[in-house]
Structure 1
Amino acid sequence: VARLPRVGNRLAAMLDLAPARLPGREPTNRVGRFSPEGGPATKRVALLRGCAQSVLRPDFNAAAIRLLNRHGIEVVHADEGCCGALTHHMGKEASSHAHAKHTIDVWDAEIAKGLDAILVTASGCGTTIKDYGFMFRDDPAYAEKAQRVSSLAKDVTEYVAQLDLAATAESDLVVAYHSACSMQHGQGIRTEPKTLLKRAGFTVKDVPEGHICCGSAGTYNILQPELAAKLRARKVANIERIRPDVIATGNIGCATQIGKGTGIPIVHTVELLDWATGGPRPAALDGVTPRLEAAE
């Protein structure tokens, strides 16, 4: 009985994070191959569909596919399912390893056909996938396959940073870049996303105390809702201090967590890069106009 209030708080936190309505289904969310138009592909990559992100924000991967196709890269959506990151964070090894093994098997079959990279648009998932080689180092049946997958895994911004992006749209929007803990601390990716946004023509502002968590942290915002809410309030206050027009991040958990605490639109970094190089304006930016004066 004593545990009921805590369980109630967790349930309330989970319901609070759920969107009022789900977005429409993206045709690019299906399993399949997406090829460049107007010529043969120069490279071939797999893109993690993800579980939560494919339902909550399928527009993230849709933007990534458009951006990659526009630059001559074929994208494969395999039927890998959950990568096991969330249950891995919770210490549920049997469940996380079962999910990971299925993912490894599916991607290893694609590697055999030729893959230049395995791309991830959710940095929480990317951190775990890059760790597959270590997770299965003592498993004779999976050690080699897991290492192959990990060696090819990249955050989408790591890969796109190698491309010759040509910005075609001009924007005066001020972007606050939020670096997820799984991105900057877990993967050590700190400069690539900001550099890409600047190259694409956006004014990019660092968030004060950017090294501190927003409170999402996998399932932390559900299991520890009170502390997570305090971290979100601190993060949102720091973001709003720099008066951005839009927030960019590379993780669905952060986008959901921060988005519940502010009216400033939040998008994936790849959505802005897609828009700047010929793709559609992100739907979250409908009606958004640049501030006349950005805080310095």
Structure 2
Amino acid sequence: MTSQRLLTLVSAALSGVVSFASSASACSTTTPCLVETGEYNIAKPDADTEAAVIFIHGFGGSGSGVFRNQSLTNSVLERGYALVAPTGLVPEGRNGGSWSFHPNREQRRDEISFIKSVRDDLIETHGIDPDKILLTGFSIGGSMTSYLACAEPDAFKAYAPLGGSFWRPHPTTCAGSVSLLHTHGWTDGTVPLEGRMVRGIDVKDPNSFVQGDVFHAMSIWREANQCNNLKADRFDTSGPFMRRSWERCAPGSNLELAIFPAGHIIPKGWAEMAIEWFENL
């Protein structure tokens, strides 16, 4: 057990707010719900909601910090979904949380098991329907979402990474077909569509840390989904997002790319678009 988690449990016990086990009535946007290897925060539109969006924060963030984005929070709640935000572990010397998202890098925690434990706690404690959970995330949270979808495509009904995808070296294959909507800013300079060097001097150096190419990631997803064509089957430029989707793919799968004319942000209207896409599956 990490010292951070021990401190959380001790503080919770002393305050009398929560017990070791998560409780639907005890946790909120400010008081974490506790699971075996971490914690998450939650906001629900009403006690009877059965649907949820799990949102994985970006680098330096936290579960409780997600709810400072009132536009995102309100958009999700107004659609009748709970907004659920797991918290990443804080790396040594850092102030905010992150994720051991890359399978070829040091794993400070089994993140896939942790996020699945959040899913299970939502089902058991909060009455969420497993078929009504959309997993998403921003920036590195989007990368975490993508790697989980690739490794265990059946863990969630659908995935919607935003502003983050695979890193180099890209996966050579994924475990199966998925329903996935990837959204990205056209002028994103933090996580460019083509990726960028984060650490190192040579893309081919295995010790370098290099973001992946979103277009290459889409080819990986097309292969996983057994899509018949490289070219998209449907295009939609009627709204604020330029969208292209591949429809002649494995039964039950769904693949879409949405681009918007801005940078590394959670754009206005994204939550509504992602939830509408999810509901139309």
Q: TM-score, normalised by structure 1?
A: 0.38
Q: Which has the higher helix share?
A: 1
Q: Which has the higher strand share?
A: 2
Q: TM-score, normalised by structure 2?
A: 0.39
